[in-house]
Amino acid sequence: MGDKVKVGIAKFIHDGNYARAEFDAGPDIMENNGLYELLEAQGVEVTETKTARLTEEDEKEYGTIYRLGLASGHMSEIVSSQIKRGEFSLALISNCIGLMGVLGGVQRSGDDQPLRVGLIYFDAHADINTPETTRSGLMGGMPVASATGMCFHRLRRQAGLEVPLPTRYVTYVGVREVDALEYEILDRSDVEYITVDDVKEMFPTIREQMERLSGITDLIYIHIDTDVLNPGEMPGHTTPEPNGFTSEQLAGCLELMCSYPNVACLGVASMPTEGDPEGASIRAFHNMIQGAMRGLRNR
């Protein structure tokens, strides 16, 4: 990628009252606590920072899902433009409902036809519920289902994700909490997995999954919900799960993954905004980014 790695930052804050609004400040926290200095020290040129916002005309619309689709469409435009210019897109996302806009941007970043997009989904939870299976009703538990064409089809298309991802294009990493009805969905899918132990020990499974997705897709998006880490590194997270891996272990995994040239975008979602007076979550976030940037420089 030359002497300087070029990175565009895309921010998605819109909650739409369908997820967890307490994460809305997360993208600003990630941006404004040493990120630019860290990237500069890593030999990265930040080409732009843009936030997906509803336009004046959009603000006249009503309906939370419809407005979420509009905001996601604007995120798609930002990510797509960055990738088309040859930049690596770094998405800072309030919560996982931002998934579709980023995926839409990656899918639309080709010259003509929609690209085949692989999804590497780091999360303690599967997030593949549908409106029929969800117990919480939170849309933050449904983005993978929507992205793979199981629900919210109009929203997905508004987000620029015209073609839903086949489940074989999806690899979960670190999932360890699955709802009972999600198991039924997953058992009928072709989703594949990288386990917590695979990441801790840097087992060959990681490289095998990268080779698999590189062989069947055009570009890959890596999505991280910060609850995939050990809870001690993300104090204040509202959905912590025990028995994860550390941010240093995650950084090693990202270094390997981002060394693959068809990885076009990294997104980080659900940064805690309260309950972390010692700044552990920012340090963990910086570890992730350093690992990813090392991978980009190794291409």
| Residue where the block lists tokens 């690899």 | 171
229 to each of 56, 109, 239, how far by Cα in Å?
A: 38, 30, 11
**Rounded Cα distance, 35 and 13, in Å:** 17
What is the distance of C-alpha 164 from the center of its chain?
16
pLDDT higher than 50, residue 272 = yes
- Predicted pLDDT of residue 1: 45
Q: What are phi and psi of 119, to 5 degrees?
A: -120, 120
Residue 207 maps to which CATH number? Answer: 3.40.800.10
Please give the structure tokens belonging to residue 275: 């309950």
Domain hosting residue 236, numbered range: 5-297
Q: Does residue 17 carry a pLDDT above 70?
A: no
CA pair distance 202, 122, nearest whole angstrom: 15
pLDDT tens figures, 188-226: 999 999 999 999 999 999 999 999 999 999 999 999 999
Q: Is residue 257 very low, low, confident or very high in pLDDT (cuts 50, 70, 90)?
A: very high
Amino acid at 224: I
Looking at the structure of the chain, the number of domains it has is 1
Task: With beta carbons less than 8 A apart as the criterion, state whether 149 and 139 touch.
Answer: no
Which of the four pLDDT bands, split at 50, 70 and 90, describes residue 19?
A: very low
For 80-101, the pLDDT digits (tens) are: 999 999 999 999 999 999 999 9
Q: What DSSP string describes 250-296?
A: HHHHHHHHHTSTTEEEEEEE----SS-TT-HHHHHHHHHHHHHHHHH
Instruction: Find, among 45, 153, 144, the residue nearest to 98 by Cα.
Output: 144
**If you average pLDDT over every residue of the chain, what do you get?**
94
- pLDDT (mean) for 7-30: 77
